[in-house]
A and B are shown apart, each in its own frame.
Chain A
Amino acid sequence: MKRGEFIRLTTGMAVAAPLLHACGEKKTGAAAIPGKIVGASAATGHLLRDHTFNPPAAFEAKEVVIVGAGVSGLSAARHLVQHGVKDIIVLDLEQQPGGNAASGGNAFSKYPWGAHYVPVPNNNLSEYLSFLEEAGVITGYDQAGLPVYNEFHLCHDPEERLYINGHWQEGLVPNFGLNAAELAEFKQFFTLIDHFKKLKGSDGLDAFNIPVDTSSHDESLRALDRITMKAWMDSQHLTSEYIRWYVDYCTRDDFGTPYDMVSAWAGIHYFASRKGKAANAAHNDVLTWEQGNGFLIEALRKQLDGKIATGALATSIKATGNGVKISYLDVASRQLKGLEAKHCIVAVPQFVAARLLGDTERGKVVTDHFHYVPWMVANLTVKDLHERGGQPTSWDNVIYGSASLGYVDATHQQVQQRKDRRNLTYYLPLTHTSPEAARKEAYRAEHAFWAEKVLADLQRVHPDIREQTEQIDIMLWGHAMVQPRPGMVHGEARKSLSESIGGAIHFAHTDLAGVSIFEEGFYQGLKAAQKILQT
C-alpha cells in the first residue's frame, strides 16, 4: 500500500485492524438500505396453478407457437426463422424475455439476474460457434482454425479470488494455508478429471460431453449416475475439508445441488466436459458481459422482432390431431387468447409443461423425478469497499465456507479507470433444506430479511459494506433449476418426457438435459426446431 493512501485511511473512517475482526458491528440496520424484491412473476405463474380459465373464443393461426422465451425457446425460434419458418410466435409470461438469463440495470451498468457467463465453448459445437460469431463474440478464426474471441467479452483479469484463512487468494481452488497432504488431494482430483476429459466409452463417444446426450452410454460410466459425488469422492479418498468444500461449491454453483446430493456423473461432467480451445484464451477462461447471459439473449432475439409476445401466460396446450391449440392469458388485458399451430415447442420447465398439457400422469413422473431448487439472487449497488489483504477485487469473489456462492462484479468488464459505483450480483442457492420447504420460506421472507442475510455474509470480507451499499434488490427464483440427483441424467424419466407428442408437440428445456447450462438450452431449442423442419 502506498503511504499517502495509508495516511488517508488511518485518519479516515475506513480502517479496521488486521487480525481483529470487526465483525458483528452493526451501525445501520439493513432496513435502512433501499431496495425491493423484483421478480419472476411468481404470482402470475401461480394463476396457472390456482385458476381455471374458460377456453378462448377464437384461435389465431400460426405455423409454430413456442411457449417460453428462455434460452431454449429463443434458440428454437432463431433456428426456425433462419430456416425460413417465419410465421411463429414466442410466448412468455414475464415482461422481458430471457428466463433464467434475465438481466436488469441502473445508471452504472447492466447486471444479471441469473445466468452470468459461459465457458470458452467446446470446438465441436459448430452451430453454437456460428451463433457466437453472429453475436460478435467470435471475431474470426486463426490459421489453426481456433476461434478468436472478442477481447471485450472474455472475462478480464483478475478473474477469480477466494477469501480463505483470512486472505484473498487468486483463483477458486483453495491453496492458501493448505498443508501438503491437502494440496496433494487437489492434485489427485485434477489428475482424475484430466483422465475423464480424455476418456472415451466403449461406444467410442467422449465419456463426458456437451450436450449431455452426446456423452457415452458406457455402462461403467452410467454407474457413476447411481451414486452421489460425495460417495465417489470417498471411494477415491478425497476427504479433506478443503476439497469437499471446493467440489460442493462447484456443484452448488452449477447445479444448485450439494455434493452429497448430486449425481457423481453430473459432478464430474461439470469438470470434465469443458474442452474448449481458443486462439486468444486459456481453456478455463470464460465469456461474460455486464448483463451476464442477458447479452446472449439479446443476440438470440435479434431476428425475432415482433415475434415475441411478453406478458403472455400459456394456460393450456392441446393436440388436435392435425395440429395444436394453445391458450394463453394476456396479462395486461386479462384476456384469454387462443392460437392454433401446426407445431408447438414447449420451452418451459416440465412441472409447468405437465400442467399446460393437463396430463396428470406426466405430472406424476415430474414430481417423482424432477426436483427444482430455489435460488436467491441479489444485486447491490456499492461505493468503494474496504478490502482485506491479498488478491485485489476480481470478477468472481467467493468466500470459503459461506452458504452463498459469493458475488460477481457486473462492472468488471467496464474498461474505464474510475468507477463511481459498482453493481455486485450475489448468488445464494437455497440448498439448506428440501426444495419445497426452502421455496415456502423464500416466498414468505421480506426484503429486509434477505438484505440482512447478504450483508451479514459480505461483512466478513468488506467490513464497511453496510455503509457503502446504496441499494439492494432481490430476485427469488422459486424453481431455478432441476437438480441432477443420481438417476436424473441416465434415467428413463428425462428420456420419456423429451419425446414429442403426436409429431406436433415438441419439448425443449434445460431441465430435460438434467444439466442447466446455456449450451444445453441452445441445443434443446435447436433440436426441437430441427424436428419441425424435418417434417
Chain B
Amino acid sequence: MKNTAGRNSAQWVLLVAVFIIATCGLIYELVAGTLASYLLGDSVTQFSIIIGVYLFSMGIGSYLSRFFNDHLLEWFIRIELLVGLVGGFSAILLFLVFPLAVSFQPVLYALVGVTGILVGIEIPLLLRILKDKVEFAELVSRVFTYDYIGALLASLIFPLIFVPYLGLIRTSLFFGLLNVGVGLYLCRYFAGEVRGVAAIRFGGIVILLAEVAAFIFSEQIMSFSETLAYNDHVVYSTSTPYQRIVITKNKHDLRLYLNNNLQFSSADEYRYHEALVHPAMTAAAEPRNVLILGGGDGLAAREILKYPSVRHIQLVDLDPVMTKLFTGQDILAEINRHSLKDPRVTVTNADAFIWLKENRKQFDCVIIDFPDPSGFSVGKLYTTAFYRLLKTAMAPQAVAVVQSTSPYVAPKSYWCVNETLKASGFQTIPYHNYVPSFGEWGYVMARKSGGYQLPDTFAIEKKYISHAVMEQMLQFPEDMLAHEPLEVNKLNNQALVNYFEKEWGKFLDQ
C-alpha cells in the first residue's frame, strides 16, 4: 500500500516538473522571439525562425536522449538545472551581445537551439523514468497533457503578466529560478535514488544565487549594456520628457548623444560650429541681435559671443535639462566656455515653433540647430510653414542658417531643405564641410534678398574657417547632388522625413 502511494506521488512530482519545464521552455522561446523582433524588427520573420529553430532543436534533443542509458533521474535533474541556467540568463546575454551587432544572430539562434535541445531531451527521459511506474498509454497521455497545458499557460501569462510587470530580463530570470527550484526539489525528493546528490545540489544553489543576484541588479545590468552600445564610458545619462540625453567620455573626447544620435564630439565640434555660425554672422554684417533655435549645448552661442557687435543672444531650446546641464556642469560648461551664463545670453526653454509664432522681435542673424528630421514631429521644424514664420523674425538684411544633415549620405534630404527655403521666399547659399565624427555635413544660409559675397577674412579667433576654406565649402561635387527634381517640404506632405528615412536607412543598412 505504502509503496504504491509513494510511487504515485513520485509520479505526480515528476509530472508537475514536466509542466513547469514546458512552461519555462516556451517562455524562453517567447523571450527570444520578442527580443529579436524588437532588436531586429520584422516580428513575423523573427518569430517564425525562432519557433522553427526551437522545435527542431527539441527534435535533436529527443534524438540525443537515446544516448542516456543509466542514471536517468540524475541526468534529468542535471538537465533541469542547465535549462534554468541557460534560459534564465538568456535575455541578459542577448542584451549584452546586441551592441556587438555582428555576433548577435548566431548567439540568438545558438541560445534558442541549446534551450530547445535540453528541453527536448527531458521529455523522453522522463517517459523512460516513469515507464516502469505507470502503464504506458496512461503515461504518454499524462506527460503530453502536462506538456501542452504548460505551453498554453506560458503563452498566456507571458504577454499579459510577465512582460508588462517584470520586463524581459526579469521574466527570463524568474523562469530560470523556477527551473532551478524544480531541480533542487527533485534532488531532495529523490535523494535516496540519485548518486552524487551533494554535487548536484551545490551546482543548483550556485545557479540559484547567481540568478537571484541578477534579478535584483537587473537595472544596473541594463545600463551596463547601454554603455557597451556607446563603446565608451557613460558619464551621464537621463531621460527627459523630450529626449534621452547621454554623455560619454574617453581619453580623446567627450560626446553628447540625444536619442542615440551623436550631437557633438569635443574633439572636432569646432569644425561644425565654426562652419555653422561664422558664414552667417559674417554675412549679416555687424549683427547685434542673434537668435539661436535649438543649440542648447551653448556651443553656437560660444562662437557668436566672439563678435563684439553682438548685444544680445536669444537662445530657444526645448529641453530645460539640456540647457541646465550645459550651464551648470563644469566639464560641459568648459566646452562652451560658460556661454550660457554670459549676461548677453537669454535662455528660453520653449518649443521653437510655438515661440516663433508668438515672437514679435526681429533679429539680425538666426542660427538654426535642430536635430535631424528623423520623424514627423521634428520634420515640422523644416517646413515652409516654419520658414515663413522665420522670415517674420528676421530684419531686412538678416541672415539665417540651417543645419541640414549630410549632403553626402542624404543628398535629397539636404537639397530638399534648400528647396524648401527657396519656396518660402529666401535666397539660399548652400555649403558643406567635413567633420570627422559626423562625416560630410551640410548647411544652408538664407536671406530675404541680396546675394552672397565671400568675405575676405573671418575676423575672429578660430581654428578652422578662413576665406579659402569657405570658398571650398561652397563647392558641391557630383556625389553630393540630388540628381532629380525634389519636393518642397510642407506640413501636409512631410517630404523631407520620407527622403531622410530612405537615405539614412540605406546608409545604416550597409
The interface of chain A, by Cβ under 8 A from chain B, is 1-22, 25, 151-152, 154-159, 280-281, 285, 389, 392, 415-418, 420
Contact residue among B41, B169, B351 (Cβ-Cβ distance under 8 Å from A10): B169
Interface string of B141-184 (1 = CB under 8 A from A): 00000000000000100111001110111000000000000000
User: In chain B between 246 and 266, which residues have their CB closer than 8 angstroms to a CB of chain A?
Assistant: 246, 259-260
A19 to B33, CA, bound (A): 10
A280 touches B385 (CB 8 A): no
* Main DSSP-derived SS at the B contact region: helix
Query: Which partner residue on chain B sits nearest A420 by CB separation?
Result: B241
B158 touches A20 (CB 8 A): yes
Query: Which partner residue on chain A sits nearest B47 by CB separation?
Result: A19
Contact residue among B158, B357, B384, B490 (Cβ-Cβ distance under 8 Å from A17): B158
Query: Which partner residue on chain A sits nearest B46 by CB separation?
Result: A18
A17 to B44, CA, bound (A): 12
Query: Which partner residue on chain A sits nearest B489 by CB separation?
Result: A157
Contacts of A20 in B (CB 8 A): 30, 155, 158-159
B43 touches A16 (CB 8 A): no
Give the contact stretch, choosing among B205-213, B330-338, B375-383.
B375-383
Give the contact stretch, choosing among B121-129, B274-282, B491-499.
B491-499
Q: Does B329 contact A (CB under 8 A)?
A: no
Contact residue among A12, A14, A389, A418 (Cβ-Cβ distance under 8 Å from B241): A418
Query: Which partner residue on chain A sits nearest B383 by CB separation?
Result: A151
Interface string of B457-491 (1 = CB under 8 A from A): 00000000000000000000000000000000011
Q: Does B397 contact A (CB under 8 A)?
A: no
B222 touches A16 (CB 8 A): no
A389 touches B491 (CB 8 A): no
Query: Which partner residue on chain B sits nearest A418 by CB separation?
Result: B242
A18 touches B47 (CB 8 A): yes
Which of B43, B98, B165, B378 counts the most A-chain CB atoms under 10 A from its CB?
A: B43
A4 touches B47 (CB 8 A): no
- Chain B nearest CB from A285 CB (Å) reads 6
Interface string of B41-56 (1 = CB under 8 A from A): 1011001000000000
Contacts of B353 in A (CB 8 A): 415-417
Query: Which partner residue on chain A sits nearest B164 by CB separation?
Result: A13
Contacts of B155 in A (CB 8 A): 20
A11 touches B169 (CB 8 A): yes
B159 touches A17 (CB 8 A): yes
Contacts of B47 in A (CB 8 A): 18-19
CB<8 Å pairs between A and B, sample of 30 = A1-B41, A2-B260, A4-B226, A4-B244, A7-B226, A10-B35, A10-B169, A11-B219, A11-B222, A14-B164, A15-B168, A17-B158, A18-B37, A18-B47, A19-B43, A20-B30, A22-B159, A22-B164, A151-B384, A151-B491, A151-B492, A152-B385, A152-B491, A154-B490, A156-B491, A158-B376, A392-B376, A417-B353, A417-B380, A418-B242
Q: A3-B229, A10-B167, A15-B164 are in contact. Are A157 and B492 (CB under 8 A)?
A: yes
The 4 A-B residue pairs with the shortest CB-CB distance, nearest first, are A157-B494, A18-B43, A416-B351, A151-B385
Contacts of A12 in B (CB 8 A): 167
Query: Which partner residue on chain A sits nearest B353 by CB separation?
Result: A415
The interface of chain B, by Cβ under 8 A from chain A, is 30, 33-35, 37-39, 41, 43-44, 47, 95, 98, 155, 158-160, 163-165, 167-169, 218-219, 222, 225-226, 229, 239, 241-242, 244, 246, 259-260, 318, 351, 353-354, 357, 375-378, 380-381, 383-386, 388, 490-494, 497
Which of A12, A152, A417, A420 counts the most B-chain CB atoms under 10 A from its CB?
A: A417
Contact residue among A6, A13, A15, A281 (Cβ-Cβ distance under 8 Å from B39): A6
Contact residue among A7, A280, A392 (Cβ-Cβ distance under 8 Å from B490): A280
Query: Which partner residue on chain A sits nearest B38 by CB separation?
Result: A6
- Chain B nearest CB from A416 CB (Å) reads 4
A156 touches B43 (CB 8 A): no
Contacts of B386 in A (CB 8 A): 415
Which of B163, B318, B378 counts the most A-chain CB atoms under 10 A from its CB?
A: B163
Contact residue among A14, A155, A157 (Cβ-Cβ distance under 8 Å from B376): A157
- Chain A nearest CB from B353 CB (Å) reads 4
Contacts of A18 in B (CB 8 A): 34, 37, 43, 47
Contacts of A13 in B (CB 8 A): 164-165
Query: Which partner residue on chain A sits nearest B48 by CB separation?
Result: A19
B34 touches A11 (CB 8 A): no
A417 touches B378 (CB 8 A): yes
Contacts of A285 in B (CB 8 A): 492
A417 to B158, CA, bound (A): 34
Contacts of A281 in B (CB 8 A): 492
A225 to B376, CA, bound (A): 43
Which of A3, A25, A152 counts the most B-chain CB atoms under 10 A from its CB?
A: A3
Contacts of B226 in A (CB 8 A): 4, 7
Given contacts A4-B244, A11-B222, A157-B491, 18 further A-B contacts (CB under 8 A): A2-B259, A3-B260, A4-B226, A5-B244, A8-B244, A10-B38, A13-B165, A15-B34, A15-B163, A15-B168, A17-B34, A19-B44, A151-B383, A156-B491, A156-B494, A157-B493, A158-B376, A417-B378
- Chain B nearest CB from A177 CB (Å) reads 11
Contacts of A420 in B (CB 8 A): 241
- Chain B nearest CB from A489 CB (Å) reads 32
A417 touches B385 (CB 8 A): no
- Chain B nearest CB from A36 CB (Å) reads 30
- Chain B nearest CB from A161 CB (Å) reads 12
- Chain A nearest CB from B340 CB (Å) reads 21
- Chain A nearest CB from B139 CB (Å) reads 31
- Chain A nearest CB from B356 CB (Å) reads 9
Contacts of B95 in A (CB 8 A): 7
Contacts of B35 in A (CB 8 A): 10
Q: A281-B492, A389-B43 are in contact. Are A22 and B160 (CB under 8 A)?
A: yes
- Chain A nearest CB from B184 CB (Å) reads 28
B492 touches A155 (CB 8 A): yes
Query: Which partner residue on chain B sits nearest A151 by CB separation?
Result: B385
Query: Which partner residue on chain B sits nearest A1 by CB separation?
Result: B38
B229 touches A17 (CB 8 A): no
Contact residue among B37, B43, B260 (Cβ-Cβ distance under 8 Å from A4): B260
B376 touches A417 (CB 8 A): no
Contacts of A151 in B (CB 8 A): 383-385, 388, 490-492
- Chain A nearest CB from B239 CB (Å) reads 7
- Chain B nearest CB from A430 CB (Å) reads 32
Contacts of B218 in A (CB 8 A): 11
Contacts of B225 in A (CB 8 A): 7
- Chain B nearest CB from A334 CB (Å) reads 45
- Chain B nearest CB from A393 CB (Å) reads 9
Contacts of B491 in A (CB 8 A): 151-152, 154, 156-157, 415
- Chain B nearest CB from A148 CB (Å) reads 11
A152 to B222, CA, bound (A): 42
Q: A18-B34, A18-B37, A416-B354 are in contact. Are A8 and B239 (CB under 8 A)?
A: yes
Which of A1, A17, A18, A389 counts the most B-chain CB atoms under 10 A from its CB?
A: A17
B354 touches A154 (CB 8 A): no
